[in-house]
Amino acid sequence: MNISLRKIEPTDLPFLYQWENDASAWADGANHNPLSQQDLREYISSTTGDIYKDGQLRLVIQSVRPQDGLTIGCVDLFDFDPRNRRAALGMYIAPEHRGKGVGHETLAKIEEYAFDFLHLRCLYAVIAQNNTACSAIFEYAGYIPSSPLKSWTLESDAVIWIKTR
């Protein structure tokens, strides 16, 4: 599947509402409660899409095939440190699009943006030890498991996966 990354838009509200309220993904992220549509509207209207102004960047993953026009997921750069030129990375792929190479393609695109355009020198992701599918995607993309995080979540230990350039 060929994908593109784009800035978040007001028309993405239904997708964000569904994804942010997917309780099965909460163990792998920082969210621990449902978000309202109003919460998400405010986020969409307040974000500039500029990581230097917002300190974070959320991009929507979309299929580039005209017959699809599918919104597939989102990818985030956060915990942005411009001095040390690094950022954390997280992504969410809608369940019906998992296992189709979207994660690999998304990582390649966000890395190109982060390393070549933003000139970051380090991307990292904190991945729960029991999330073997996500770990496999990052390992395949050349990320190195760096630091174990014991008792990181109630469900699992975690590992910091790092890629530098």
Helix H or strand E encompassing 6: strand 3-7
Q: In what order do the strands lie in the sheet with 71-81?
A: 3-7, 57-63, 71-81, 86-93, 122-128, 158-164, 144-149
pLDDT digits (tens, 9 = 90+) for 128-160: 999 999 999 999 999 999 989 999 887 889 999
How many angstroms separate the CA atoms of 81 and 86, rounded? 5
Return the pLDDT at 65: 72
Q: What is the dihedral angle through the alpha carbons of 53, 54, 56, 62, rounded to the nearest 10 degrees?
A: -90
pLDDT digits (tens, 9 = 90+) for 79-91: 999 999 999 999 9
30-35: average pLDDT = 70
11-30: average pLDDT = 77
What is the value of pTM for the model shown? 0.89
Q: In the predicted model, is pLDDT for residue 93 greater than 80?
A: yes
Return the pLDDT at 27: 59
Query: Of 21, 114, 110, nearest to 60 (Cα)?
Result: 110
Q: What is the CA radius of gyration of the chain?
A: 15
Return the pLDDT at 35: 82
